[in-house]
Structure 1
Amino acid sequence: MVRVVGRLDAFGVALTERPISLYAAAALRIGYGLIYLAYLLREFPHRDELWGPGSPLTPTLSRELLKHTGWFSLLAFSDRPIYFEACYALAVVVCVLFTLGWRTRILSIVFALVVTSFYARSILMTDGGDNLITLMSIYMICIACGRRWSLDSRRARLRGPGYRRRPEFARVAASEHARQLGVARRVLVTVLHNCAMVVIGAQICILYATAGLYKVQGSDWDHGTALHYVLNLSLFRPWPALSAMADSHPMMIAVVAYLTVLVQVAFPFALFGRLKYVVLSMLLGMHLSIAVLMGLPMFSGSMVIADAVFLSDRFYMNVGRQVRRLVRRAASPAPDASRLMESTHIPPQQVRPSKTLDRM
Structure 2
Amino acid sequence: MNRPSLMLSRGVARVTEAALGPYQSAVVRIGFAGTWLLFLLREFPHRQELYGPSGPWGWNLARQLTADNHAFTALLWSDGQLWFECFYTLAVLASAALLLGWRTRTASVLFMVGVLSLQNRSVFVGDGGDNVLHLMALYLVFTRCGQVWSLDARRAAQEEAARAREERVPADRVGPVLWAVLGAALGTVTLTGRFDNGWLVPALLWTVWAGLGLWWAVGRRAAWEQPRILLDVVANILHNGALVVIMAEACLIYATAGWYKIQGSRWQDGTAVYYPLHLDYFSPWPALADLMSSSGTIMMIVAYGTVMVQIAFPFTLLNRRAKNILLVLMMIEHAVIAVVLGLPFFSLAMITADAVFLPTSFLRRLGDLAARARGRLARRAGRTVPGPRSPEESAADRVGFTA
Check conservation: 1:21, 1:312, Cα contact below 8 A. no
What's the C-alpha RMSD, in Å, of the aligned pairs?
1.9
Q: Which residue of 1 aligns with 2:368?
A: 321
- Is 1:265 aligned to 2:314, yes or no? no
- Is 1:222 aligned to 2:279, yes or no? no
**Change over 3 Å in CA distance of 1:173–1:252 after alignment to 2:** same
Structure 1 residue 322: Cα displacement: 3.3
Structure 1 residue 27: Cα displacement: 0.9
Structure 1 residue 151: Cα displacement: 0.7
Moved more, 161-170 or 45-54: 161-170
**Change over 3 Å in CA distance of 1:141–1:242 after alignment to 2:** same
Q: Which residue of 1 aligns with 2:326?
A: 279
For residues 113-162 of structure 1, give each alpha carbon's deviation from its aligned partner in whole angstroms, at most 9, with x where no partner exists.
00000010001222311111010000000000111111111000000165
Letter in 1 for 2:68: H
Give the SS at the match of 1:160.
helix
Task: Kindly name which structure, 1 or 2, has the bigger radius of gyration based on alpha carbons.
Answer: 1
Moved more, 158-167 or 39-48: 158-167
**Equivalent-residue separation in structure 2 for 1:297 and 1:324 (angstroms):** 26
Q: Which residue of 2 aligns with 1:59?
A: 59
User: Share of identical aligned residues, percent?
Assistant: 42
For residues 256-308 of structure 1, give each alpha carbon's deviation from its aligned partner in whole angstroms, at most 9, with x where no partner exists.
11111110000001122111121011101110111111111111110001111
**Equivalent-residue separation in structure 2 for 1:8 and 1:170 (angstroms):** 31
Structure 1 residue 229: Cα displacement: 1.6
Q: Unpaired segments of 5 or more residues in structure 2?
A: 164-168, 173-214, 381-403
Equivalent residue for 2:286, pick from 225, 236, 240: 240
Q: Unpaired segments of 5 or more residues in structure 1?
A: 334-360
Moved more, 124-133 or 6-15: 124-133
Q: Which residue of 1 aligns with 2:339?
A: 292
Structure 1 residue 34: Cα displacement: 1.2
Q: Which residue of 1 aligns with 2:250?
A: 204
| Higher relative contact order structure (alpha carbons within 8 Å, sequence separation ≥ 6) | 2
Q: TM-score scaled to structure 1, two decimals?
A: 0.87
Q: TM-score scaled to structure 2, two decimals?
A: 0.78
**Equivalent-residue separation in structure 1 for 2:378 and 2:55 (angstroms):** 49
**Equivalent-residue separation in structure 1 for 2:88 and 2:370 (angstroms):** 35
Equivalent residue for 2:355, pick from 286, 296, 308: 308
**Equivalent-residue separation in structure 2 for 1:11 and 1:5 (angstroms):** 10
**Equivalent-residue separation in structure 2 for 1:28 and 1:107 (angstroms):** 14
**Equivalent-residue separation in structure 2 for 1:45 and 1:24 (angstroms):** 33
Check conservation: 1:201, 1:309, Cα contact below 8 A. yes
Equivalent residue for 2:218, pick from 156, 169, 173: 169
**Equivalent-residue separation in structure 2 for 1:224 and 1:312 (angstroms):** 33
Structure 1 residue 314: Cα displacement: 2.1
**Equivalent-residue separation in structure 1 for 2:218 and 2:304 (angstroms):** 59
**Equivalent-residue separation in structure 1 for 2:60 and 2:240 (angstroms):** 41
Matched residues, number:
330
